[in-house]
Amino acid sequence: MKKYRLLAMLSAAMILLAGCGSDDSSSSAEADKPADGTSAVTDASDGSEAEPAKDKPASERNSKFVETADYPKLKELYKDDFKFGCAISTTIQNTPEYSELVCEQFNSYTAENAMKPEATLDQKEALSDPDKYNEHVPLNFSNMKTCLDYAQEHGFAVRGHTLVWHSQTPEWFFCVGFQKKNGTVDRDTMLKRMENYIKDVLEWTNENYPGLIYAWDVVNEAISDSKGMRKESKWYEVVGEDFVQKAFEYARKYAAADVKLFYNDYNAYQSRKRKDIIEMLQPIVDAGNIDGMGLQSHVGLYLNPIEFKTAIKDYYKKLGLEIHITELDLGKDKSEDWETKQEELYKKLFTAFKELKADGVPLTSVTVWGLTDGMSWRKGENALLFNDDLSRKPAFDGIVAAAG
């Protein structure tokens, strides 16, 4: 039995070392590097050898992890307010103690990497017959299947993340003959590729897992940090300004009626960026093609919770959209008492979320972007709710306290 456990841990470590899907430990710099490899990235599939996460007697618990079963449960504490989610990696799924904790605490699942375009587009198959696949690029659903099987088996509702994004979408997807050296295709071809990608993903997920996915991030991060639309994006370059509108038009065309369509962005609470986002989304709202606004919320202890609350209200008031907090994590600062400050800020934010609910703002889902500080994409910033041994941080207690 012990040996089995060791194998599971080793296999999880190997996934990390191999950099498969760049889950867990990647820096944001790596995050922005589009993968241009062959076929789908392997964020998920290798885990098959790992020991199933369920039915583990407590006596077999790996001694590097503390017991978590008696922690207050976030999903219970906030069950009348919103779904409480976590970004889940293959390592979490394949490590029994991590898996137990996410199942205890959360009821909404976002795949940290394994449902992104780079994990789904199949370059190998595309290259086998570039003419045949020119407008309809083949997909490999094995990574998505691993995620959705896990979510279904453990009773999570799923946020689909993400369909159209400049990052973690391989450059070959935009290229003639699916090879970088040929340069990019024309707008019309790219629109066909976009439509077919969206169609295939939405139809496949709906056919195989009806009712499991409650929202999709249709477009991620289209607005620039300085002004207007982000120009460093193959979508912007090849399709042009209206790629966001087009993506939502296609998504509405193929999504099941119970799947909500979201725009998602970081620093979306900042007033300048908010103005640009609202301007961009207004015609999409008018066309009836969007249901929600996702605020990623990768922030730090500098965040003013009142400004954040105002921003959420503003999106609702101006656009009438449902709101999700999609990727919350609060990085530490350099002060010695950062942990206390982090606890307070988490508490203030969740207090604000409850006040927004009381004010009638449709904030229906809040997701934290990962489980333990050591596995966070913001390495060294200690932004999450649990330490690496799964002991709970003051940050966790802050959220518990805000529940009242």
Cis omega (within 30 of 0) for bond into 162: yes
Nearest distance, CB of residue 20 and ligand XIL, angstroms: 11
289 is a site residue for ligand XIL (CB under 6 A):
no
Q: How far is CA 40 from CA 56, 190, 215, 345, 367, in A?
A: 32, 19, 23, 38, 25
Nearest distance, CB of residue 186 and ligand XIL, angstroms: 28
With respect to ligand XIL, which residue has the nearer C-beta, 32 or 258?
Answer: 32
Backbone angles phi, psi at 322, to 5 degrees: -70, 150
Angle at 99 between CA 163 and CA 396, to 5 degrees: 90
* x-or-dash string of contact with ligand XIL, 101-130, rule CB under 6 A: -----------xx-----------------
With respect to ligand XIL, which residue has the nearer C-beta, 195 or 327?
Answer: 327
Nearest distance, CB of residue 42 and ligand XIL, angstroms: 14
Relative to beta strand 322-331, strand 363-368 is: parallel
Nearest distance, CB of residue 118 and ligand XIL, angstroms: 10
With respect to ligand XIL, which residue has the nearer C-beta, 371 or 395?
Answer: 371
Angle at 325 between CA 322 and CA 331, to 5 degrees: 160
β strands within 25-88, DSSP E: 83-88
Angle at 213 between CA 94 and CA 257, to 5 degrees: 170
Binds ligand XIL by CB under 6 A, chosen from 10, 30, 337, 389: 30
Q: At what angle do helices 305-319 and 271-286 cross, to 10 degrees?
A: 20
The CA distance from 113 to 44, in Å, is 9
Binds ligand XIL by CB under 6 A, chosen from 105, 107, 296, 364: 296
Nearest distance, CB of residue 298 and ligand XIL, angstroms: 6
Window 49-68: residues binding ligand XIL (CB under 6 A):
none
With respect to ligand XIL, which residue has the nearer C-beta, 327 or 343?
Answer: 327
Nearest distance, CB of residue 237 and ligand XIL, angstroms: 20
Binds ligand XIL by CB under 6 A, chosen from 196, 220, 233, 342: 220
Q: At what angle do helices 142-153 and 187-208 cross, to 10 degrees?
A: 30
377 is a site residue for ligand XIL (CB under 6 A):
yes
373 is a site residue for ligand XIL (CB under 6 A):
no
Burial of 170 (0-12, 13-18, 19+ CB in 10 A): buried
Beta-carbon contacts of 35 under 8 Å, excluding residues fewer than 6 positions away, are 22, 41, 118, 168, 170
Residues that are catalytic:
221, 327
With respect to ligand XIL, which residue has the nearer C-beta, 114 or 126?
Answer: 114
Window 305-344: residues binding ligand XIL (CB under 6 A):
327
| Size of the residue set binding ligand XIL (CB under 6 A) | 11
Q: Which stretch binds ligand XIL (CB under 6 A): 26-34, 140-148, 152-160, 386-394?
A: 26-34
Nearest distance, CB of residue 251 and ligand XIL, angstroms: 17
The CA distance from 184 to 234, in Å, is 9
With respect to ligand XIL, which residue has the nearer C-beta, 30 or 67?
Answer: 30
Could you give the 3-state DSSP secondary structure of residue 60?
Answer: helix
Q: Which stretch binds ligand XIL (CB under 6 A): 12-20, 23-31, 308-316, 351-359?
A: 23-31
Q: Which stretch binds ligand XIL (CB under 6 A): 18-26, 74-82, 232-240, 283-291?
A: 18-26
Nearest distance, CB of residue 169 and ligand XIL, angstroms: 11
Tokens matching residue 191:
């629109």
Q: Which stretch binds ligand XIL (CB under 6 A): 19-27, 44-52, 65-73, 356-364?
A: 19-27
Could you give the 3-state DSSP secondary structure of residue 131?
Answer: coil
Beta-carbon contacts of 357 under 8 Å, excluding residues fewer than 6 positions away, are 81, 82, 363
With respect to ligand XIL, which residue has the nearer C-beta, 265 or 343?
Answer: 265
Backbone angles phi, psi at 382, to 5 degrees: 45, 50
The CA distance from 139 to 125, in Å, is 8
What residues make contact with ligand XIL under the rule CB under 6 A? Answer: 22-23, 26, 30-31, 112-113, 220, 296, 327, 377
